[in-house]
């Protein structure tokens, strides 16, 4: 999982390990600011998704659309996307 952080159009950092926390003090200004997060999914989820699509297409070709649903015991998608809240905290809190 990767998250690119942009503040006011400026690419600040790519976060890829815990605690997924950065100091944006130098990028913000008084008034309205824009925060953008670009989250990238894991490659494992992409491979699992491709496998699921392949199995669904095979089942539909065989005329068994009800069998297109996978038994997900061996192929489980990992949690993905923006999980949890995005919090903006004052610099005083950030240092703790």
Asked whether residue 38 is domain-assigned, the answer is yes
- Tokens 């490659």 belong to residue: 43
Asked whether residue 68 is domain-assigned, the answer is yes
Question: What pTM, to 2 d.p., does this model score?
Answer: 0.62
Q: Can you tell me the distance from the alpha carbon of 3 to that of 77, in angstroms, rounded to the nearest whole number?
A: 19
Contact 42, 91 (CB under 8 A): no
pLDDT in tens, the chain (96 residues): 789 999 999 999 999 888 888 999 999 999 999 999 999 888 888 888 888 888 888 777 666 554 444 444 567 778 888 877 888 887 665 554
Asked whether residue 82 is domain-assigned, the answer is no
Asked whether residue 64 is domain-assigned, the answer is yes
DSSP strands (E only) in 1-96: 2-7, 10-15, 35-40
Domain span at residue 54?
Answer: 2-77
Asked whether residue 84 is domain-assigned, the answer is no
Q: Can you tell me the distance from the alpha carbon of 90 to that of 82, in angstroms, rounded to the nearest whole number?
A: 22
Question: What's the domain count of the chain?
Answer: 1
Asked whether residue 95 is domain-assigned, the answer is no
Q: Which two tokens stand for residue 80?
A: 């993905």
């Amino acid at each position: 999982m990767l998250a690119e952080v942009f503040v006011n159009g400026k690419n600040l950092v790519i976060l890829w390990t815990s605690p997924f926390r950065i100091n944006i003090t130098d990028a913000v200004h008084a008034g309205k600011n824009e925060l953008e997060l670009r989250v990238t999914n894991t490659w494992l989820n992409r491979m699992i998704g491709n496998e699921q699509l392949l199995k669904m297409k095979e089942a539909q070709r065989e005329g068994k659309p009800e069998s297109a649903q996978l038994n997900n015991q061996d192929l489980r998608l990992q949690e993905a996307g923006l999980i949890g809240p995005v919090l903006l905290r004052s610099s005083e809190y950030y240092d703790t």
